[in-house]
Amino acid sequence: MKDEPAVPTVELRAWRQFLMLAEHLHFGRAAALLHMTQPPLTLAMQQMERRLGVALFERTRRSVALTPAGLALVEPVRQLLRQAAALPALARSATSGEIGRIRLGFISTVGFGPLPAWLRGFRERCPGISVELREATGDVQLKAFERTEIDAGFVLHAPGMAPGAALGLQTLSLGVEPLVLALPESLPWAAARRLRPSDILAQPLVIFPRAITPSLFDAVLAFYHRQGVTPAIAQEAIQMQTIVNLVSAGLGIALVPKAVTQLQRAGVVYRPLPAALAAAAPQCETSLVWPAGAEPAVQRFVEFVRELL
């Protein structure tokens, strides 16, 4: 395999000299504006032409003109120098968190709730920061943090049991909300004025797998056990949308975060737990998590959410 030919490199200083000469087409004036004498400028242009392997200027004793190759380079060189001049400010903006990228994991319950409005507000405040959304359950997000594939995430868990401590993740609680019943509309008592605990506890349960949110799964089962019942798990499903759809199909009932009630499905009735069960019922907490020492753009997003809370 033959070696590829070396790409000729030209320093920015030489490109500035080229552009000044291209704009003025006079070695003396261009040299004066560059604060140099004419001979070094002439030598620099000759070296550039040898390095590129093309003539950039046509020279006579009385005039200087651009060749087609030189003319073709003028605008790209202008853009190059503008970009180079902007680099220090770009670096300062990135350091201060004015620009950047956030790879944000989120659970569906946050998507049903405040996330869309928060993203709109954050974009208005920090237009230089792009946010890449990745819907994922808590377990998937933790693995993504380990692989440094996301920068922050919204996760669901039992109150006070925020995941990620082993990874050194920082936590900001968005608040605690109750779990409510999602009932198949086909149940004869689903719309009754008063729900009987015995009717609820006797129904098969649709729930998420324990691996997704262990603390919340354990809290739900502990709630049943406190009532002297071992629930019959009819089906496990990863996404809250799927759980609600399975309830709609009559496979069982579900305990879902209150935020899920915004997801309306035909055949599903949302009800709070009756008072006899509500006192012992599990709750859920949503938290924003991010690594210690996160990039400035991530810190800006965290502070934005903190202000809203």
CATH number of 226's domain = 3.40.190.10
Using DSSP, state whether 268 is helix, strand or coil. Answer: strand
Instruction: Report the residue count for the chain.
Output: 309
* Contact present, 215 and 163 (Cβ < 8 Å): yes
DSSP string for residues in 147-208: TT--SEEEEEESTT--S-GGGTEEEEEEEEEEEEEEEETTSTTTT-SS--HHHHHTS-EEE-
Furthest C-alpha separation in the chain: 105
Please tell me the total count of domains within the chain.
3
DSSP string for residues in 42-93: HHHHHHHHHHHTS--EEE-SS-EEE-HHHHHHHHHHHHHHHHHHHHHHHHHH
Task: Determine, yes or no, domain membership for 249.
Answer: yes
The pLDDT score that the predictor gives to residue 93 is 58
User: Is 47 in the same domain as 78?
Assistant: yes
C-alpha 227/C-alpha 245 separation (Å) is 27
Q: What is the pLDDT of residues 170-182, one digit of tens each?
A: 999 999 999 999 9
State the first-to-last Cα distance of the chain, in angstroms, to the nearest integer.
61
Parallel, antiparallel or unpaired: strands 254-257 and 169-184: antiparallel
Per the structure, the complete domain to which residue 294 belongs is given by 100-164+285-308
Phi, psi of 159 (to 5 degrees): -55, 135
CATH number for the domain including 43?
A: 1.10.10.10
Q: What parts of the chain have a pLDDT lower than 70?
A: 1-8, 89-90, 92-97
- Whether this prediction's pTM lies above 0.75 is answered by no
* Contact present, 252 and 203 (Cβ < 8 Å): yes
User: Is 50 in the same domain as 193?
Assistant: no
User: Is 115 in the same domain as 184?
Assistant: no
User: Is 145 in the same domain as 83?
Assistant: no
The pLDDT score that the predictor gives to residue 82 is 87
Task: Determine, yes or no, domain membership for 1.
Answer: no
User: Is 203 in the same domain as 262?
Assistant: yes
Half-sphere exposure of 258 (CA within 13 A, CB side): 13
Task: Determine, yes or no, domain membership for 134.
Answer: yes
